[in-house]
Amino acid sequence: MAILTILLLFCKLFLFFCKFSVAKDTITQFEPLEDNKTLVSNDGTFELGFFTPATTSSNRYLGIWYANIPFRTVVWVANRDIPITDNFTKLRINTQGNLVLVNQNNTVIWSTNATTKGVVVAAQILDSGNLVLRDEKDTNPENYLWESFDYPSDTFLPGMKMGWDFKKGLIGTTEYYRSGPWDGTKFVGNPSSSNSVINYTFVSDKDGYYITYSINDKSMISRLVLNQTLYLRRQRLTWNNDSQTWRVSSQLPSDLCDVYNTCGAFGICVVSESPVCKCLDGFKPKAPQNWTQTNFHEGCVHNHSWSCGENKDGFQKFSNVKAPETTRSWVNASMTLEECNKKCRENCSCTAYANTDMRGEGSGCAIWFGDLLDVRLIPSGGQDLYIRLAVSQIDGQELAVKRLSQTSGQGLKEFKNEVMLCAKLQHRNLVKVLGFCIREDEKLLIYEYMANKSLDFFLFG
């Protein structure tokens, strides 16, 4: 009898402990998550629970980490700005259907802000590492009430979206590094975004526009992180089972030209040159004295004043570039390049235009207004950009035009002979006569342009 009693007691204890050791991925309004328990995704990849960072001995946080990696690698934190100072905190679903993090005094430390509309809700940690709040009977991702992927920490996991969600009013931005626009297959400023390891996708529809990515090898554990040491970097880290460490697979910015707007307005960054910054053709440094000290942030301005209108300006083609920053731009995905040219030409505020999709013969239209920022040369994989310049600057040759006096008594034959004679003169201190124009009483001489003025200016002032 005594042995039977002991066996029954052992079975009860066994069942009691087994009940709490079974991994689950969901909590409901009747099952809060306590400090000493965790949720584990269905495939065992991610775990949600409370943790204490190695840098502190007391503060605790609610976070998500990889469940199958020996040392804790946290990918998301709920209360990163408000640490927990006790071990009695719970994560539960309140009567309004939102997740709340409350301490032993029932003070709310963190909460979600979902509109639940009276449905019975549940919170679940997914195999992707996404913590979602949803209708208990509805697993459709389109109907999630709230998800942690919309509020990332320093880690960008596969399946996360970065962009603008019109329905949720969420926007993601970056200013330190810019990938450049999506050209249909890759990001122009990051040619390596098209590779066999990571599959990037750009989506633009009625609900918003965003980028996301997936890992082609499902057995690979990889993540993108923002790592600020000396300066901000975006690193792709891949778990190496042999060394049991995270290995840096790639990082951005990878060079000075990757840093946002290194060369200022109307400047172009060329990483193979020294210094890396120069002005686009048709432009000059706004503050030359600063450029001599490798301070390029004030950028460039037009070489000459010019006016907008027929036969007064045109567009110069610049090939293999990362298109400018798009804050002040307008996009139409259905227009042709010819229609884009016309659209830009009709608006004197338009400074440049380009195709948005480089596949095939190109399609779509993007036009820019105001300063062109963050342009760099991409020797392979860049796109064509058409920049508005004065007619005299198109194709890279600047000319000097001299109008002769209409009261001159020189005859037409004498004028032509003199021009032909001047054209034959060859000397390094003489500018070339490139041509002439005669129309009724108008006589024009066309010379090489002297950017630093002619010798007589220095001799006679």
Q: C-alpha angle with apex 51: 45 to 55, nearest 5 degrees?
A: 115
The pTM for the full model equals 0.64
CA distance 11 to 188: 64
Beta-carbon neighbour count of residue 406 at 10 Å?
Answer: 9
**Structurally, how many domains does the chain consist of?**
3
| 296-301: Cβ within 8 A, 24+ apart | 296/262, 296/263, 296/264, 296/267, 297/261, 297/264, 298/264, 298/265, 299/263, 299/264, 299/265, 299/266, 299/267, 299/371, 300/263, 300/264, 300/265, 300/266, 300/267, 301/265, 301/266
User: E strand or H helix at 16, and its extent?
Assistant: helix 2-21
Whether 270 and 387 share a structural domain: yes
Supply the DSSP symbol for 141: G
Count CB neighbours of 83 within 10 A: 15
Identify whether 4 is part of a domain: no
Are 125 and 48 spatial neighbours (Cβ–Cβ below 8 Å)? yes
Residue 389 sits in the same domain as residue 407 = no
Give the end of a domain, one of 352, 372, 395.
Answer: 395
Choosing from 377, 395, 413, the residue where a domain stops is: 395
Verify that 80 and 115 share a domain, yes or no.
yes
Query: Which residues on neighbouring strands pair with residue 369, listed in sequence order?
Result: 350
**Do 63 and 115 sit in the same domain of this protein?**
yes
- Residue 236: both structure tokens together: 């792709």
Question: Contact 263/296 with Cβ under 8 angstroms?
Answer: yes
**Could you say which DSSP state residue 197 is in?**
S
262 with 386, same domain: the answer is yes
pLDDT of the residue at 1 = 45
**Is the Cβ–Cβ distance between 446 and 433 less than 8 Å?**
yes
pLDDT at site 97: 92
The answer to whether position 328 is within a domain reads yes
The answer to whether residues 319 and 277 belong to one domain is yes
Tokens for 371, please give them: 């300063």
- Is 168 among the domain residues? no
CA 227 vs. chain centroid, Å, equals 16
Query: Which pLDDT does position 243 carry in this prediction?
Result: 92
User: Is the distance from CB of 101 to CB of 78 less than 8 angstroms?
Assistant: yes
Map tokens 């009860």 to a residue: 12
425 and 342 co-located in one domain: no
pLDDT in tens, 258-290: 888 999 999 999 999 999 999 999 999 999 999
| 325 and 355 within one domain | yes
Are 298 and 327 part of one and the same domain? yes
For residue 327, what pLDDT is reported?
84
CA distance 324 to 326: 6
Count how many residues are written for the chain: 461
Q: Give the pLDDT confidence score for residue 361 in this predicted structure.
A: 79
- Nearest CA to 321 out of 373, 259, 364, 380 is that of 380
pLDDT of amino acid 396: 53
Preceding peptide of 152 cis, ω within 30°: no
Note the pLDDT of residue 172: 52
Range of the domain at 449: 398-460
Residue 79's CATH number = 2.90.10.10
Asked if the structure places residue 8 within a domain, the reply is no
In a domain, 204, yes or no: no
Q: Residues 341, 419: one domain?
A: no
Distance CA 60, CA 82 (A): 9
Same domain membership, residue 96 and residue 29: yes
Mark whether 319 and 411 lie in a shared domain: no
Signed CA dihedral, 217, 141, 27, 158: sign only = positive
Name every residue whose Cβ is closer than 8 Å to that of residue 165 and which is 6 or more positions away in sequence. 150, 171, 207, 208, 210
CATH of the domain at 423: 3.30.200.20
Low-confidence ranges of the chain (pLDDT < 70): 1-23, 165-196, 207, 228-232, 395-411, 425-432, 434, 447-461
How far is the C-alpha of 161 from the C-alpha of 423, rounded, in Å? Answer: 64
- DSSP3 helix / strand / coil % (the chain, rounded to 5): 15, 35, 50
pLDDT at 181: 53
Does residue 253 form part of some domain?
Answer: no
Domain boundary residue, one of 342, 366, 395: 395
In a domain, 167, yes or no: no
In sign, the C-alpha dihedral spanning 255, 256, 258, 259 is: positive
